[in-house]
Amino acid sequence: MHHVPRERRSPRTDEEIRVPMTARPPLIDGSLEPAHHAGENEERYRAYIELTSDAVWRIEFEAPVPVSLPPEAQVELFYAHARLAECNEAMAQMYGLESAAQLIGARLGDLLPRDDAENVAYLERFVTSGYRLANAESNEIGRDGLPRHFVNNLFGIVRDGQLVRAWGSQRDITELRHAHDRLQQARRMETVGQLAGGIAHEVNNMMSVVLGCSEFVLRRADLDPAVRSDVEEIRQAAERSAAITAQLLAFSRRQMLQPVPLDLNAVVRGAEPALRRALGDAIALELRLAPLRPIRSDRVQLEQVLLNLADNAREAMPGGGRLVIETSDVELGPRDAAAHPEIRLRAGPYALLRVADTGRGMDRETARRVFEPFFTTKGVGKGTGLGLSTVYGVVKQSDGYVWVDSEPGRGAAFRIYLPLTDAELPAPISPPEPRDTPAGQMVLVVDDEPMVRSMAVRALRQAGYLVLEAESGAQALALMERHGAEVRLVLTDITMSEMGGRELGRRLAAQRPDLPVLYMSGYPVDEVVRRGILQEYRPFLQKPFAPDTLLGSVRALLEARAGAG
């Protein structure tokens, strides 16, 4: 930054104290009648200062600062000698004080912490700009000990080559900045989610193939043991990849959830044994469950949420501690919406699931980023940074919200809000008794992704089914015209380029209302699907799936149909 040659500015004198006010033309010139005597002027300025919501202040240098010194040296002297000599009530309020008198006398360092390099740079800019700064930002510490952000306008009075005082005004932009940060964070999450979701979808399809083919190889009886153990490794690696992509899909809200009316307390109780195992003996688990109306979510996914939170809690409490899981019935209202301008919060009744630990907690910056995929403070190979992004994705897909409250050394509390519904809980259904594979039955497989399709076809053929395959809805319908009478079940992808699974399902239902259709997908769940129309995609299979999972679903459907008919 260049030094502004100070000689060219006429040095200010004491008499000029009021001049700067008039030097800002719109404020006074022409806006009011000229003042007739000093008393009126005095009153006018006082009114301005008291009425504005900006802070207005005067700082005096107990020992004047020679303007010829280098900027760093001047800043040094500012911290040594500057004191707040005067300020208005608005300024006191900004610092959480009742009256200006409580703030007057404060040292510069109390207001503008010196250990913040940005503040030092800001003061140096004040020097190099010839003691006049407009719209300069500074960071200060509020009375509550939390940082506050200000935008400042200030100028200094130089007499005989020495800076004697400074005048300024400042506006508190802390809330504005927080809202801005949160908005940026929300945008970033959205972008990362799209990117991660796209990659995960591709990887997911490929993993279906890797998993399926490994399975086929492993089923061969004549396999060389060395080859078998290699293929076993391949399958395990593919399973781990599939688990990761499943988490990414959950985060990017592309995973097909099956939201149904659920008793949140029952989910927590059901997960309790697994949670205790995850936490170990050194951590006490306490449940405080209040009676609740049903929520609408996916049980398996919610269990995953609880497990991910418990895993993190355990890692945050290496020396043991306590994890409290609490549910309650709350109402989110306009005040909550105002507190979170970065999202469009829907007011209404919610179930609050609060998971709080007594662990090491986290700082603000960490708390801000915990839900980002791949954000981790754990070492390489220890954390994936996907636990909380999965939590986030599941909560979002259930139309809920999640926030974290934490401070270093004070534990962490995750608050999850899930909308309550008036829906009835479904009656529990008992799974049918497993029977032998009904071989020789005809299944139609429809998917425009050739590798996934051929994997499914192979699995079904190996199990003894007769299989027809189609790469589009249209082709499937053509096949149905010829072989419709023999087809016992249709397995179809939901998103296909020509005719989607939904349209195909509808047409099949018109032709053969009794024909079971098993939907499968890993991609992409648009809002429409997510909101209730998902009922149409039931039964449903999430990609990638192992051949056994596919066979299990197919068998269950055929048996249910046989039982019904």
Residue 384 interacting entry, from ligand ADP, Mg ion, none, C-beta within 5 to 8 Å by type: ligand ADP
Rank residues 219 and 374 by Cβ distance to ligand ADP and give the closer one. Answer: 374
Candidates 357, 449, 469, 493; binder of ligand ADP (CB under 6 A) is: 357
403: left (phi over 0), alpha (psi -120 to 50) or beta: beta
Rank residues 119 and 312 by Cβ distance to Mg ion and give the closer one. Answer: 312
Structure tokens at 81: 């000698």
Rank residues 353 and 386 by Cβ distance to ligand ADP and give the closer one. Answer: 386
H runs (alpha helix) in 170-224: 174-218
Measured CA distances, 500 to 197, 416, 467, 497 (Å): 20, 34, 20, 7
Rank residues 381 and 440 by Cβ distance to ligand ADP and give the closer one. Answer: 381
Candidates 138, 241, 301, 312; binder of ligand ADP (CB under 6 A) is: 312
Output DSSP code: residue 420: B
Using CB under 5 A as the binding rule, whether residue 387 contacts Mg ion is answered as yes
CA dihedral 176, 180, 181, 183 (to 10 degrees): 140
Nearest distance from C-beta of residue 356 to ligand ADP, angstroms: 9
- By CB under 5 A, the count of residues binding Mg ion is 2
- 127 CB-near residues (< 8 Å, 6+ apart): 67, 71, 74, 75
Using CB under 6 A as the binding rule, whether residue 313 contacts ligand ADP is answered as yes
H runs (alpha helix) in 463-537: 473-483, 501-511, 527-530
Nearest distance from C-beta of residue 363 to ligand ADP, angstroms: 10
Phi and psi at residue 24, to the nearest 5°: -105, 90
Nearest Cα to Cα of residue 519 among 480, 473, 461: 473
Using CB under 6 A as the binding rule, whether residue 419 contacts ligand ADP is answered as no
Using CB under 6 A as the binding rule, whether residue 393 contacts ligand ADP is answered as no
Rank residues 322 and 458 by Cβ distance to ligand ADP and give the closer one. Answer: 322
Structure tokens at 466: 């007769």
Measured CA to CA, the distance from residue 104 to residue 56 in angstroms comes to 12
Q: In terms of DSSP bridges, do strands 466-470 and 487-493 run parallel, antiparallel, or are they unpaired?
A: unpaired
Q: Taking CB under 6 A as the criterion, which residues in 144-173 touch ligand ADP?
A: none
Nearest distance from C-beta of residue 361 to Mg ion, angstroms: 15
Candidates 259, 361, 516, 547; binder of ligand ADP (CB under 6 A) is: 361
- Work out the number of other CB atoms within 10 angstroms of the CB of residue 37: 7
Output DSSP code: residue 472: S
Candidates 41, 185, 328, 376; binder of ligand ADP (CB under 6 A) is: 376
Q: What is the DSSP string of 234-278?
A: HHHHHHHHHHHHHHHHHHTT-S----EEE-HHHHHHHHHHHHHHH
For Mg ion, which stretch binds (CB under 5 A), given 2-10, 162-170, 227-235, 384-392?
Answer: 384-392
Nearest distance from C-beta of residue 374 to ligand ADP, angstroms: 8
Structure tokens at 354: 């609060």
Using CB under 6 A as the binding rule, whether residue 384 contacts ligand ADP is answered as yes
For ligand ADP, which stretch binds (CB under 6 A), given 5-13, 145-153, 177-185, 385-393?
Answer: 385-393
Rank residues 106 and 279 by Cβ distance to Mg ion and give the closer one. Answer: 279
Using CB under 6 A as the binding rule, whether residue 366 contacts ligand ADP is answered as yes
Write down how long the chain is.
Answer: 565
Per-residue interface string for the shown chain with ligand ADP, residues 272-311, x marking contact by CB under 6 A: ------------------------------------x---
Structure tokens at 175: 């809330």
Nearest distance from C-beta of residue 245 to Mg ion, angstroms: 17
Nearest distance from C-beta of residue 380 to ligand ADP, angstroms: 11
Measured CA to CA, the distance from residue 118 to residue 147 in angstroms comes to 13
Measured CA to CA, the distance from residue 450 to residue 333 in angstroms comes to 50
CA dihedral 28, 29, 34, 40 (to 10 degrees): 10
Candidates 90, 133, 203, 388; binder of ligand ADP (CB under 6 A) is: 388
Question: Is there a contact between 139 and 118 (Cβ–Cβ < 8 Å)?
Answer: yes
Nearest distance from C-beta of residue 240 to Mg ion, angstroms: 15
Rank residues 360 and 415 by Cβ distance to ligand ADP and give the closer one. Answer: 360
Nearest distance from C-beta of residue 311 to ligand ADP, angstroms: 7
Nearest distance from C-beta of residue 306 to ligand ADP, angstroms: 13
Structure tokens at 144: 């509550």
For Mg ion, which stretch binds (CB under 5 A), given 3-11, 265-273, 290-298, 387-395?
Answer: 387-395
Candidates 64, 193, 212, 387; binder of ligand ADP (CB under 6 A) is: 387
* R_g of the chain computed on alpha carbons: 34
Residue 359 interacting entry, from Mg ion, ligand ADP, none, C-beta within 5 to 8 Å by type: ligand ADP
Angle at 141 between CA 404 and CA 144, to 5 degrees: 60
Nearest distance from C-beta of residue 323 to ligand ADP, angstroms: 9
**No. of H helices and E strands in the chain?**
20, 17
Candidates 343, 377, 432, 450; binder of ligand ADP (CB under 6 A) is: 377
Using CB under 5 A as the binding rule, whether residue 312 contacts Mg ion is answered as yes
Output DSSP code: residue 107: B
Per-residue interface string for the shown chain with Mg ion, residues 12-51, x marking contact by CB under 5 A: ----------------------------------------
Question: Is there a contact between 302 and 262 (Cβ–Cβ < 8 Å)?
Answer: yes
Structure tokens at 2: 């260049």
Residue 361 interacting entry, from Mg ion, ligand ADP, none, C-beta within 5 to 8 Å by type: ligand ADP
Residue ranges binding Mg ion (CB under 5 A): 312, 387
Residue ranges binding ligand ADP (CB under 6 A): 308, 312-313, 316, 357, 359-362, 366, 370, 375-378, 383-389, 412
